[in-house]
Structures are given as C-alpha cells and as structure tokens.
Amino acid sequence: VEIEPMRTFYDYEAKYGTAGTRYHLPPRLDAADVARVEALGLAAHRALGCRGATRTDVMFGGGQPIVLEVNTLPGMTATSLVPKVAAATGIPFEELVERILDAAAFGPEGQR
C-alpha cells in the first residue's frame, strides 16, 4: 500500500479525520521496487522471528527502501491497512480473520 496523505504528515487526523488520505493499491512503483519492498518486508518479518500477520512500514530515501517499523499487531479496523491489502488481493475480511486465527492455532504449516 502506498499512503498519500492530503496533509504534510500522515498523522491521526490524516488517518481518521476529514483531512483525507489516498491509498494506492498497488503502489505507484515500478515492478522492481515493489519486489524490493516485498523482499525487505519479508526479511524484516523473518529476522525478528515474527509469526502471523504483520505490517512492515517502509519509506524510500535516496532511492532505497528503508524499514521504519514492523508492526506485530496491525490494526483490523475499517481504516487499517492489512484489511485494505487483503481486500485488494481478493481476500474478504472474514477469510482474513480465519487465516490469522488458523495461523495462530496451527502455525504457518497448518500443524499444531
């Protein structure tokens, strides 16, 4: 997801208020940059030993993707990014919740 706030910063007002934010799905990046960001996010997730759904925030500096944070408890509200991404890839909210719960109960390989 590419976030384009209509304010100077992506703050509380930009996310929840009337200031507005545009979400670009897919992001306005070339395929090579999308692949780099995806690989970086997955590498950060694995390096931290994360399980289940996480959200890695990345920005570009000097043409390079930079990890800002890995959120191990991403939001699941109507304005949250994980459900937006899931919906954009054809995964309805209910199925997303089921997948997260299954991964927590059975692990990523479906085993207890």
Q: Name all domains of the chain by residue range, CATH numbers in brackets.
A: 2-106 (3.30.470.20)
For residues 32 and 106, the model is more confident at 32
Phi, psi of 75 (to 5 degrees): -65, 155
Average model confidence (pLDDT) for the chain? 91
Q: Are 59 and 68 in contact (CB under 8 A)?
A: yes
User: How many Å apart are CA 97 and CA 17, to the nearest integer?
Assistant: 26
Mean pLDDT of 85-112: 86
- Using CA atoms, how far residue 104 sits from 13, 25, 50, in Å, is 33, 27, 11
Which of 13-17, 38-42, 56-60 bottoms out in mean pLDDT, i.e. has the lowest? 13-17
Strands 2-5 vs 55-61: parallel, antiparallel or unpaired: unpaired
- The amino acid occupying position 111 is Q
pLDDT, tens digit, for every residue of 7-35?
898 898 888 887 789 999 999 999 999 99
- The predicted pLDDT at position 16 comes to 86
In this predicted structure, the answer to whether residue 111 has a pLDDT above a threshold of 90 is no
For residues 60 and 112, the model is more confident at 60
For residues 17 and 91, the model is more confident at 91
User: How many Å apart are CA 82 and CA 88, to the nearest integer?
Assistant: 10
Q: Are 82 and 75 in contact (CB under 8 A)?
A: yes
